[in-house]
Amino acid sequence: MAKNYFRNIPDFEYVNRTKDGQFISNYTQVKNFFKRGKLREDIFQDLTVFEKYSVKGDDRPDNVAFKEYGRSNLDWVVLTSNNILNIQSEWPMPQFEFDKYLLEKYETYENLNNAHHYETVEIKNDEGVIMASLYKNKSIWYLSVYNNGKRITKSLKTSDLKVAKSIKSIVELSILKEFNGLTKKTYNISFNDLVIRFLKSKPKWSDATYKLNKHILTSHLSGKPLPNNPTSKAIHTRHINQCWKWGVKNNLVQKAKLLPGDTKGESRLRTFTKEELQLMFSSITSKKFNQFVQFAYYTGARSGEIRSLAQENVLDDSIIVRGKTGRRIVKLNNQAKEVIRNQDELWNYTKDYVSHRFKKEVRRLGIRNARFHDLRRTFGLNLIKQGMSIYKVSKLLGHKSVRTTEQHYAPLLTVEIEDFVV
Query: What pLDDT, on a 0 to 100 scale, did the predictor assign at position 121?
Result: 31
User: pLDDT (tens digit, 9 = 90+) per residue, 323-335?
Assistant: 777 788 888 999 9
Reply yes or no on whether the pLDDT at 230 is more than 60: yes
Which of 163-167, 169-173, 278-282 is predicted most confidently? 278-282
Label residues 183-220 b or e (16+ Cβ within 10 Å = b).
Answer: eeeeeeeebeebbeebeeeeeeeeeebeebbeebbeeb
pLDDT band at 149 (very low <50, low <70, confident <90, very high): low
Mean pLDDT of 395-406: 80
Contacts of 158 (CB under 8 A, 6+ apart): 140, 141, 164, 167
Q: Cα dihedral sign for 328, 332, 337, 340?
A: negative
Higher pLDDT, 252 or 45: 252
Helix (H, G, I), strand (E, B) or coil at 151: strand
Spatial separation of the C-alpha atoms in residues 88 and 82, rounded to whole Å:
15
**255-264: pLDDT as tens digits:** 888 888 765 5
Q: What percent of the chain has pLDDT over 70?
A: 68
Check whether 135 has a pLDDT greater than 90: no
> What are the start-end ranges of the E strands in 130-267?
131-137, 140-147, 150-155
Q: Among 215, 195, 191, 206, which residue's Cα sits nearest to residue 352? A: 206
Three-class DSSP category at 161: helix
The answer to whether residues 16 and 27 touch, using CB atoms and an 8 Å cutoff, is yes
Of the candidates 179, 181, 120, 129, the one whose C-alpha atom is nearest the C-alpha of residue 154 is: 179
Taking residues 212-229, report their average pLDDT: 90
Give the pLDDT score at 337. 92
pLDDT tens figures, 181-214: 545 454 678 889 899 888 888 767 778 888 899 9
Which residue spans within 262-415 are E strands per DSSP?
318-323, 326-331
Q: Tell me: pLDDT of 346 over 80.
A: yes
Q: Residue 327 pairs with which residues in a beta bridge?
A: 322
Q: Name the pTM for this structure.
A: 0.43
Please state which architecture CATH assigns to domain 274-420.
Answer: Orthogonal Bundle (1.10)
Helix (H, G, I), strand (E, B) or coil at 386: coil
Distance between CA atoms of residues 249 and 102, nearest Å: 39
String of DSSP letters for 248-300: HHTTS-SS--PPTT--TTSPP-----HHHHHHHHHH-S-HHHHHHHHHHHHH-
Decide: helix, strand or coil at residue 11: strand
